[in-house]
Structure 1
Amino acid sequence: MTGQFAEHIAAAVLEQFADYRSRFQTISAAAQLRFEKADWHAIQKAGAARIDLYEDNSEEGARAIVEQLGEVVYDARLWHDAKRCYALKIQQRSDPELAETFYNSIYLKVFKHHELDDAHMFIRSAYEGQPIRSGADFCRLYTTQQGLVALLGKLLDDYAFNIPWENRRRDIRSLARYVREQIPSIDISREDVSVEVMRSVFFRNKGAYIVGRINYTSGAMPFILPVLHNGEGAVYVDTLILDENDVSIIFSFTRSYFMVNVDVPSEFIGFLHSLIPMKSKAELYSSIGFYKQGKAEFYRSFLDHLEASNDQFTIAPGIKGMVMTVFTLPSFPVVFKLIKDRFSSSKNVTRATVKEKYRLVKRHDRVGRMADTQEFTNFLFPRNRFAQELIDELQKVAGSSVEVDGDLVTIRHLWAERRMTPLNIYIDSALASDNEPDLFHAINEFGKAIKQLAAANIFAGDMLFKNFGVTRHGRVVFYDYDEIMYLTDCNFRRIPEAMYPEQEMSGEPWYSVGPNDVFPEEFSILTACNARVRRIFNELHGDLLEAAFWQGMQDQVRNGDIVDVFPYRKIKRFARSTILPGSDYS
C-alpha cells in the first residue's frame, strides 16, 4: 500500500510540474509578439503572472495530494519512497533539476516547512555538476571568412522579427564601426574569428537582447546586442555591449526577469555562466524567470561555502534598521534579513505588511533600482558560526523568529539579498577622503534611483541614505521596502504658508496631514548632514523637493506612460541619423 501511495505522490507532483512548465513556456514564448506590438503593459502583466505561476501550481499540487491521501500523507517515510519514484520519472526530462525543486516545494508545503531531510526531498540535486546535454545546437555560429559586414548582415537577417528593421544598412554600419573601434586588437582580416549566438532572444520590458560570444585567437568575449522598438512598427539596433561588467549589469539582480525560450535549462545556464562567470548560477537561473531554482542553487552554494570557510556571522555594516535586523557572513556576498518582533513607534507597519511589500517588489518592475530577494522559512545555520553576542542580539530583537537547539540555529523566516555598501557609509567615506568624483557619482545615482522608481510607479517612502546600497558596479539600489507604496497612492502637497509666526515656530504642524500625504519640501532633511552633499543634490536633483515634480510623475504613470530605463548608459547608444551617402553596406 505504501508503494501505491508513493507512486501516486510522484505522479501527482510530476503532473503539476509539467503543467507549470507548459504554462511558463507559453507565457515566455509570447514575449516576441508582445514586443513586436509594443504592448508594454502586457509585458509587465505577463511578468507578474509568470511569477505567480509557481506558487499557484505548487499550492494546488500540495492541496490535492493532502485531500486525496488524507492523514497518511504526513508519514515522512512515505516520502522517502515517493522521492525515489519521482527521481526515476524525471530522468528523461530536459529540466530534471527544476523538477526536483518543484517536488521540494510541494513537500515543504505539505509539511509546513518542517521535516527538512535529504532522504525525503532533494536538498542536494542528483544533477549537480552534471549539466544535461540535449544534443541540439542552441547556438548559431558565424565566421568572418566573408568579412565583418557580411557576418553582421547575416546575423541581422537570422534574427529578423516579424516587423522590419528601421534601417538595416545604418545598423550594420554602426555595428561594424563600433567593433573596429572597441576591439582593434582583433585583426578580423587575419585572425580566425567566430561568433556564437544563442538562438533564443531575451525579452525584458521594452528591449530584446541577442546574446553571444566572440571567439578569437587569444581568447573570447561576451556580447549583447540590444534591439528596441521605434514605436512605429519597426526595430533597430540600439548599441553593442562588449564589456563583461556591462554584460553582467544587464543580468543584474536589480532587474526584472527575462522572457526567453529555454528547452534545456542547465545547458542554457552553463553557456551564460561561461560568458559571465562572475554571475553565480543561482543569479542566472533567477534572471530568466526560474527564481525558485535560483533559490535552490543559492542554498546549495551557501552550504558549500560554509564547508569551505570558517569565519563567523556578524551584524551587517550600517545603521541598524527599525523594522529589520540584518546579519551577514563576511566571506559570502549576501545579507540575511529578518523582521524584528517590535518596531520603532514611528513605523506604522505590521509583520504581514512587511512581507507583502517584499512580495510586491518581487512581482514589480525593479527598473535596476530594487534588489531581488530570496524568501526562506526555517533556514538552518550551524551554531558554531555564531558568536554568543550575535545570538543574544538576534534573540533580543527577533526572538520569535530565532531558535537555538544544539548545533543548529533556526531562523523561522528571513530574506537573503545581495550585500551592498550602504549608501551612507559610501558617502561618509567619500567625504572623509575628499573624493569629489565618488561623492558626486553617489548623490547623482541616489537621485536617479528615486526618479526611476517613481517612473515605475514606486514611491520609496523612507529615502534616508541608509536604506540604499551601492553595488560593485557603482549603481545605487534601494533595499528597504517596509514603507514603499505605489506612487499613484500618494498625495503630494506643498506645505501651506503659516498664518502667523507662532504657527511656524510650533513643534507641531499647523496644517492637516492625511495618511498618504507627502510633503517633498521635507526631503531636504535627507541632505542636511553635510553642506557639500546638499549642494550637489540641489544642483542635480533639486526638483525632488518640489510637489510639482511628483505630481507630474503621477500624471505620467496614470496616462500609462512606461519610461525607457535600459541597463546601459545613454552614452553607449548608437546615433540613429540616416546612413552616409556612398556607403557600401547592404
Structure 2
Amino acid sequence: MKHAPAYRLATTILHGFDEYRARFKEITADASRRFRDAAWRETQQASAERINLYKEKIDVTLGRLKRTFDPEVVSHCECWREARNHYAELISLRLDYELAETFFNSLFCAIFHHRHIRNDWMFVYSSREDAAHRSGIDLCRRKQVNGDWQAALKWALIDAPFENRFAEIDQDTHLGATFLQQHLPSAMLDDDDTEIELLNSVFYRNKGAYLVGRIIGGGEQVPLVLPVLHGEGFGEQAGGDASLSLDTVLIETDEVSIIFSFTRAYFQVEVAVPREFVDYLQQLMPHKPEGELYASIGFFKHGKTELFRALNRQVAKREEQFIIAPGVRGMVMAVFVLPSFRTVFKIIKDKFDPAKDVTHAVVREKYRLVKRHDRVGRMADTQEFSNFIVRQDHFAPECLEHLLEVAPSTVVLKGDKVIIKHCYTERMMTPLNIYLEQCSDQEKEMVLKDYGNAIKQMAAANIFPGDMLLKNFGVTRHGRVIFYDYDEVCYLTECRFRHMPKSQGNDFQGGDTLSIGPNDIFPEEFGPFMFANKALRDMFMAQHPELFDPEYWLELQQAIIDGRVIDVYPYRNKQRFAGSIGQLVY
C-alpha cells in the first residue's frame, strides 16, 4: 500500500527524531562509566557532542526530506497540516511526545525559514495540551526514616547505582544525619512516617554525581540533594583516590535551584518520561521556569519551545509592553525586556561602537562557544530565535524606535507587525553596576567578592571574559554574579598575560618597548578599567589581589594546558563536609 506524501513526511521526520534520541540516550547512559573512571576530559567532550547532536540530526533529516520529496510537497503548508495530524497520532503513546513535537517544529522552521508559525502546521501548542496522561512508571525509590537518619542516608548512597565504593560511609552519613537533625523542621523530625524519596536516575555533571529528591513528613516537604565526589586527584594524577564521598547535604529550595541554574552545563541524566520528570523537579523548585528545567537535563531545544509558549501566554495578557532594558546601553547589542517575564531579548546592532572591533559573524560564534562550553555557574545560557513576530502595539514607542534605528536590517516594521529576524534571549538579571548603586555597604562587599569569584571560576574553565566592565555582569535573585556579554569572550589559553614594563618618564627600563599584540593582556591595569569608583576598586583589590598579578593567570593557564580539569561546585565551600567525625563546615 502506497502512503500519501503527508504520511511519509511525518514518518521521515519521526525516523530522524528516533535517530537523535537513540544517540542522545547513548551519550547520556555512558555518563556513569565516565564518572566511574574519572574520564573528565571525555566528560567535557560528551557534553559538547550532545549539544551539537540536535542540529546535526536536524540537518541530516532536512537533507533526507529534500532528497525524498518533490519541492512542492515540502514547501506546501497544507501538506504539513496533514503531516502534523499524522505525526500527532504516531507519537500519541510515546513517553517523549513533547520532544518529538519540538523536533517536528525544528524541521518545519528549517523549511519555511521560521515563517508561517501557526498551530495548524506545526506544534505551536502541544497536541496533548488537554489530554496528557500519566505513564504509570515510578520514577522514584523511597525509604521510611523511622528516626534513624544515618541509616536512611546509608540506604540512599549504597542503593544508588555507583560502581566505586564509599571511602568513609559511616563518617559521611553521620555528618549528613547531624546536619539534617539540626536543620529540618521539628514536625518532620517527629513524624513516624517521614520518608526519603529519591529519583532513580543519578544526575552527572563535570566531576560530580547528584542524588536528587525530597524528604516528606509532618505535612511538609523539603528538597534533598546529595552530591557525591571522587577522592582528591582521581583521574588526574597517579595514586588518586577512586573511592567516593558524600560532599554535603542540601535541603534549601534556593540551594537546589542554583544547582539547576541556567548558568550551568546541562546534566547527563537518564530520563524515562521527560514530562513527568520535569513535573517532579518543579515540585522541588516551584519558581524555576519549566523551560529552564527541560534545558537543565539536556533538552534545551524543548526548553526553547516552552519559553516561546510561556512568552505567548504572557504577551496575550496585554498587561505591559516591551521596553528598553535598564542599564547602560550596549556597544554591540540592543537589549529590550518584557518586565514581568524575567527574560531579556538581545539583538545585534547593524553598526558597533568604534571601540568594538568585531563582526556579526564573530559575535554569533562567541555565543555558540558559550553554548557549547561548561558555563560553571557564571555564564547565562541563551536561546536563539529567528523571525520572531510581535504586534507593534506590544512595544513601547521609544523602544521600537530605538530598535529600528540601531538594527534596521534585523528589526522590520511590516504593517502592524514587528519582525525580528534574529535575537538571543537570556534570563533577566540586575546589571551589576546598577546593583552596586542601590545596595547596602554589606551587600557591596558580598557582591564584589562574588564578582571576583565569577572571574576566577570562568578562568578555571578556560574562559576569559574579555570585557570585564561591571555593566557586562548581572546579579541573580540569589545574589550570584553572572557574566552575560559574550562578544569579546575567548579561551584563557589564547591570551598572552604580560607584566607591565617598568618605566622612567617616557622611557621603559632596559630598552623595552611597549609593543602590544591583539591577545596581550596586562592584569596590573585591570583596576582603573573595571572601576571608576576608587572606593569600590580598593575594596575589590583587597579581596582579590591575585587577579592583578600576571603570574596568577599564567599559572592557571599552565594548569589547563597540562590537562587539569578544574571543577567549580554549585554550592559554597563552607557548606562542604570537612574535618573529623562530628565536625561540620557549612
Please give the TM-score of this superposition, normalised by the length of structure 1: 0.94
Deviation, 1:150, is 2.8
SS class of match (1:214): strand
Whether 2:92 is the aligned partner of 1:91: answer: yes
CA distance in 2, matches of 1:250, 1:283: 12
Q: 1:133 to 1:576 in 2, by over 3 A?
A: farther
CA distance in 2, matches of 1:518, 1:153: 50
- Is the CA contact (8 Å cut-off) linking 1:200 and 1:262 kept in structure 2? yes
CA distance in 2, matches of 1:347, 1:279: 35
CA distance in 2, matches of 1:261, 1:46: 14
- Supply the AA of the counterpart residue of 1:104: N
CA distance in 2, matches of 1:510, 1:397: 40
Whether 2:324 is the aligned partner of 1:336: answer: no
Aligned residues: 571
- Is the CA contact (8 Å cut-off) linking 1:469 and 1:476 kept in structure 2? yes
CA distance in 2, matches of 1:366, 1:301: 25
Q: How does 1:477-488 map to 2 (within 5 A)?
A: 477-488=482-493
Please give the TM-score of this superposition, normalised by the length of structure 2: 0.94
Q: 1:528 to 1:261 in 2, by over 3 A?
A: closer
Backbone CA RMSD of aligned residues: 1.8
Q: How does 1:179-578 map to 2 (within 5 A)?
A: 179-186=180-187, 188-230=189-231, 231=234, 232-430=241-439, 435-498=440-503, 501-503=505-507, 511-575=514-578, 577=580
Q: How does 1:21-36 map to 2 (within 5 A)?
A: 21-36=21-36
384-393 or 5-14, larger mean C-alpha shift? 384-393
Deviation, 1:48, is 0.3
Deviation, 1:379, is 0.9
For structure 2, list consecutive stretches of 5 or more residues without a partner in the other structure: 235-240
CA distance in 1, matches of 2:431, 2:132: 37
Q: 1:341 to 1:163 in 2, by over 3 A?
A: same
- Is the CA contact (8 Å cut-off) linking 1:2 and 1:78 kept in structure 2? no
SS class of match (2:408): helix
SS class of match (1:210): strand
Deviation, 1:186, is 3.4
Cα deviations across residues 77-119 of structure 1 (Å, max 9, x unaligned)? Answer: 1111111111111111110010000000011111222222221
Q: How does 1:73-92 map to 2 (within 5 A)?
A: 73-92=74-93
- Supply the AA of the counterpart residue of 2:346: K
Q: 1:374 to 1:299 in 2, by over 3 A?
A: same
CA distance in 2, matches of 1:555, 1:477: 25
CA distance in 2, matches of 1:415, 1:358: 9
CA distance in 1, matches of 2:574, 2:468: 28
- Is the CA contact (8 Å cut-off) linking 1:527 and 1:537 kept in structure 2? no
Cα deviations across residues 374-423 of structure 1 (Å, max 9, x unaligned)? Answer: 10001122211112222211011001001112332111000111010000
- Is the CA contact (8 Å cut-off) linking 1:295 and 1:374 kept in structure 2? yes
Deviation, 1:427, is 1.2
CA distance in 2, matches of 1:271, 1:129: 19
**Residue equivalent to 2:237:** none
CA distance in 2, matches of 1:362, 1:318: 24
CA distance in 1, matches of 2:445, 2:361: 38
CA distance in 1, matches of 2:166, 2:400: 60
Q: How does 1:94-113 map to 2 (within 5 A)?
A: 94-113=95-114
Q: 1:129 to 1:335 in 2, by over 3 A?
A: farther
Q: 1:76 to 1:136 in 2, by over 3 A?
A: same
SS class of match (1:400): coil
CA distance in 2, matches of 1:510, 1:419: 45
CA distance in 2, matches of 1:375, 1:187: 44
Q: 1:131 to 1:215 in 2, by over 3 A?
A: farther
- Is the CA contact (8 Å cut-off) linking 1:94 and 1:132 kept in structure 2? no
Deviation, 1:516, is 1.1
SS class of match (2:81): helix
SS class of match (2:187): coil
SS class of match (1:186): helix
Q: Percent identity?
A: 45
181-190 or 59-68, larger mean C-alpha shift? 181-190
For structure 1, list consecutive stretches of 5 or more residues without a partner in the other structure: 581-586
Cα deviations across residues 316-338 of structure 1 (Å, max 9, x unaligned)? Answer: 01101000000001111010000
- Is the CA contact (8 Å cut-off) linking 1:66 and 1:110 kept in structure 2? no
- Supply the AA of the counterpart residue of 2:159: D
- Supply the AA of the counterpart residue of 1:550: W
- Supply the AA of the counterpart residue of 1:236: S
160-169 or 351-360, larger mean C-alpha shift? 160-169
CA distance in 2, matches of 1:351, 1:301: 29
**Residue equivalent to 1:583:** none
CA distance in 1, matches of 2:95, 2:62: 24
Deviation, 1:562, is 1.5
- Supply the AA of the counterpart residue of 1:313: F
CA distance in 2, matches of 1:331, 1:190: 40
CA distance in 2, matches of 1:538, 1:93: 56
- Is the CA contact (8 Å cut-off) linking 1:238 and 1:574 kept in structure 2? yes
544-553 or 2-11, larger mean C-alpha shift? 2-11
- Is the CA contact (8 Å cut-off) linking 1:338 and 1:415 kept in structure 2? yes
SS class of match (2:70): helix
Deviation, 1:510, is 5.3
SS class of match (1:79): helix
- Is the CA contact (8 Å cut-off) linking 1:169 and 1:579 kept in structure 2? no
- Is the CA contact (8 Å cut-off) linking 1:239 and 1:572 kept in structure 2? yes
CA distance in 2, matches of 1:543, 1:348: 29
**Residue equivalent to 2:171:** 170
**Residue equivalent to 1:584:** none
**Residue equivalent to 1:39:** 39
Deviation, 1:345, is 1.5
